[in-house]
Chain A
Amino acid sequence: MRSEVLVNSELVEKPAGNKTNTGAANCDDSKLVLAAQQGEGSAFSALVDKYYRKVYGLLYQMCGAIDAEDLTQEVFLRALTALRKFQFRGQASFRTWLYKIAMNTAINELRQRKRRRAWESYSLDKNIELADGSVERNVPDDADTPQDALERGEQQAVVWRILHALPARHRQVLVLIDIEGLEYQEVAQILGCPLGTLKSRVARARSAFAARYERFYKGGTLPR
């Protein structure tokens, strides 16, 4: 057990992307986790300090800016609740485990939104029924055209909106691999799927993204 902890702490020391430079952030994850499991509040605070930006980034890319902060807080509370069950075993690192919680939280949130939308939605094609007959529903199309977006020099906004128009399972892999730069192996653990399946999902997601991107630049509209 002890040796596993030491071995895995090496994995934890090479996170992808931005690294925070505070003293706490440089502490060994395994030591912090063990201390937090023994009820040391400052150890968990150090873990929060080290990872909250990355978790926020994941949730922002998955769910958008509005709920990202609340969801980040929810992720850490879930982590705190489940921390007792966490063990450094095999290739699992605290970061992988935390990202898994974050992804599950994001997927839950997206499902809830979908349900809310289904509940609140109405058909744009359906005519409005009035006492003296029905009239066509005229809904203004405020989706951006390529010219609009390009004139404003918003390529990143285009990428962002196409990304957010993708199904959650596609967005998930693009966020983790292409945006966050995680390794396939780690993403496979986060998503709980075999490596081969993950690679196919990545290919399918990029293919879907490319198709929408190309469609947009050939004169299509940007998803809202």
Chain B
Amino acid sequence: MKCERVKAKVHWYVAGALSSRQARAIEQHVSQCPDCAKALAEAKAIPQLLKNLPVPQPHPDLAARIDAAVRAHAASRPVAARHLKPALVAAAALAVAIIAVLVVPLVHRPLSLNASSPATSRFAATPPATTDTPARPSPGARTRPPVPADSSRLVRRAAPGAESRARRLMSAGAGMRFAAAKPQNVPAPGAPTAAARPAHQDTLAPAELGCSTASQDLRTVATIAAAPEHLVMASQRISQLPTTVQPATRPRQAAGLTISGEIASGLIAATLLNEYIEKNVIETTDTALAIATSVPTVPTLSISDTAVKVGE
């Protein structure tokens, strides 16, 4: 083996990267060549040179700082979310995907009104369950509704009012479903809405739910940061949804209203997946849970109510 070749290979020899045959050839050469032996000795000295670098010492309070950061980080994560079963998460994700496929053609279609419309005004004029309910964001706005500092207080106040609103929504839902069989009762786009309707009429058109478009409704729902139990509830409700819903065979508005509960459930699940599993963000508001539990026999509707509640 020539000297140049040996010198080029000494680092590979020291690192043990040569085959045994090549290593033996180098050992044989350096035993007879002082120049190459010196090159090998220099190569062997490099690890030692690096090892002699001083060991850096962190600031004495680094451990305490890390501990504090870890505690703050852990405190921002819900206990239940940390222990959510992967199967549940997977089931919820699958349900969301299926629902998304069914609903995509519908969610891009405006239900009807914007914030300044008479129907919305009428809805806004309805006494809300709580006086400190956050204002509904303007159409297209993606801002998160402000979360009340004391969410438990909101829960106590929200539940009774939510129940009556749930009844109205149930009427609305029933009306729409009935309208599927009797098209004359279905409010057509541009048809008179709540403002033109007699005050005693208790059925609301979809537009009166306070959402300018279905996607706006969904975005509003998606901004809910709810308690982790909602994921369980949402996934359970997804599994309870009627499989007979055929959006294509129903009037769009009726189908949109019927399905809004499904969308809401799915999006709550998706939101929670993102919020808790990936970003580990939580801002607890029990509003949704309170409303949902106040009308336990109409789960789909209660989720719709949740959407409206938050969108107000």
Chains A and B bind each other:
yes
Contact B58 A72 (CB under 8 A): yes
A41 to B68, CA, bound (A): 11
Residue ID in chain B nearest A38 by CB atoms: B83
Contact A203 B17 (CB under 8 A): yes
Residue ID in chain B nearest A196 by CB atoms: B17
Contact B52 A203 (CB under 8 A): no
Complex interface: chain B residues within 8 A of A73 (CB): 62, 65-66, 69
Contact B53 A179 (CB under 8 A): yes
Q: What secondary structure prevails in chain A residues at the interface with B?
A: helix
Given contacts A200-B12, A206-B46, contact A39 B82 (CB under 8 A): yes
Residue among B42, B50, B79, B280 making CB contact with A178, cutoff 8 Å: B50
Contact A203 B62 (CB under 8 A): no
Given contacts A39-B79, A45-B70, A57-B55, contact A210 B63 (CB under 8 A): no
Stretch at the interface among A27-35, A144-152, A156-164: A156-164
Contact B11 A207 (CB under 8 A): yes
Complex interface: chain A residues within 8 A of B46 (CB): 178, 206, 209-210, 213
- Would you call A222 an interface residue if the criterion is a C-beta within 8 Å of the partner chain's C-beta atoms? no
Binary contact track B112-127/A, C-beta < 8 Å → 1, others 0:
0000000000000000
Residue among B17, B58, B65 making CB contact with A200, cutoff 8 Å: B17
Give the Cβ gap from B77 to chain A, nearest Cβ, in Å: 9
Given contacts A39-B82, A56-B62, A178-B47, contact A206 B15 (CB under 8 A): yes
Residue among B52, B62, B73 making CB contact with A156, cutoff 8 Å: B52
A68 to B66, CA, bound (A): 12
Contact A77 B50 (CB under 8 A): no
A178 to B49, CA, bound (A): 9
- Would you call B198 an interface residue if the criterion is a C-beta within 8 Å of the partner chain's C-beta atoms? no
- Would you call A84 an interface residue if the criterion is a C-beta within 8 Å of the partner chain's C-beta atoms? yes
- Would you call A100 an interface residue if the criterion is a C-beta within 8 Å of the partner chain's C-beta atoms? no
Q: What secondary structure prevails in chain B residues at the interface with A?
A: helix
A178 to B14, CA, bound (A): 12
Residue ID in chain B nearest A77 by CB atoms: B73
Complex interface: chain A residues within 8 A of B65 (CB): 69, 73
Interface residue tally on B, bucketed by range = 35 or more
Binary contact track B239-278/A, C-beta < 8 Å → 1, others 0:
0000000000000000000000000000000000000000
A44 to B69, CA, bound (A): 12
Contact B67 A56 (CB under 8 A): no
Residue ID in chain A nearest B48 by CB atoms: A178
Residue among A41, A76, A159 making CB contact with B69, cutoff 8 Å: A76
Give the Cβ gap from B22 to chain A, nearest Cβ, in Å: 12
A contacts with B, residue count (CB < 8 A): 45
A73 to B61, CA, bound (A): 12
A202 to B69, CA, bound (A): 36
Give the Cβ gap from B45 to chain A, nearest Cβ, in Å: 9
Binary contact track B13-48/A, C-beta < 8 Å → 1, others 0:
011110000000000000000000000001100110
Contact B66 A72 (CB under 8 A): yes
- Would you call B51 an interface residue if the criterion is a C-beta within 8 Å of the partner chain's C-beta atoms? yes
Residue among A69, A76, A80, A174 making CB contact with B50, cutoff 8 Å: A174
Residue ID in chain A nearest B50 by CB atoms: A178
Contact B55 A18 (CB under 8 A): yes
A169 to B79, CA, bound (A): 39
Residue ID in chain B nearest A173 by CB atoms: B15
Which of A44, A73, A156, A174: most chain B Cβ within 10 A?
A73
A179 to B66, CA, bound (A): 24
- Would you call A61 an interface residue if the criterion is a C-beta within 8 Å of the partner chain's C-beta atoms? yes
A160 to B79, CA, bound (A): 45
A184 to B17, CA, bound (A): 11
Contact A69 B58 (CB under 8 A): yes
Give the Cβ gap from A207 to chain B, nearest Cβ, in Å: 4
- Would you call B5 an interface residue if the criterion is a C-beta within 8 Å of the partner chain's C-beta atoms? no
Cβ contacts A to B, 20 pairs, < 8 Å: A18-B55, A41-B74, A48-B63, A52-B62, A53-B57, A57-B56, A60-B56, A72-B58, A80-B73, A81-B280, A159-B50, A178-B50, A178-B51, A196-B17, A200-B15, A203-B12, A203-B17, A204-B11, A206-B14, A213-B49
User: Which A residues are closer than 8 A to B by beta carbons?
Assistant: 17-18, 39, 41, 44-45, 48-49, 52-53, 56-57, 60-61, 65, 68-69, 72-73, 76-77, 80-81, 84, 156, 159-160, 163, 174, 177-179, 181, 184, 196, 199-200, 202-204, 206-207, 209-210, 213
User: Which B residues are closer than 8 A to A by beta carbons?
Assistant: 11-12, 14-17, 42-43, 46-47, 49-59, 62-63, 65-67, 69-71, 73-74, 79, 82-83, 280
Closest 7 CB pairs of A and B: A199-B17, A178-B50, A203-B15, A60-B56, A203-B12, A56-B58, A203-B11
Beyond A45-B67, A159-B52, 16 additional contacts (C-beta under 8 Å) are A39-B79, A41-B71, A52-B63, A53-B57, A57-B56, A60-B56, A69-B59, A76-B66, A81-B73, A159-B53, A163-B50, A178-B50, A181-B51, A203-B11, A203-B17, A210-B11
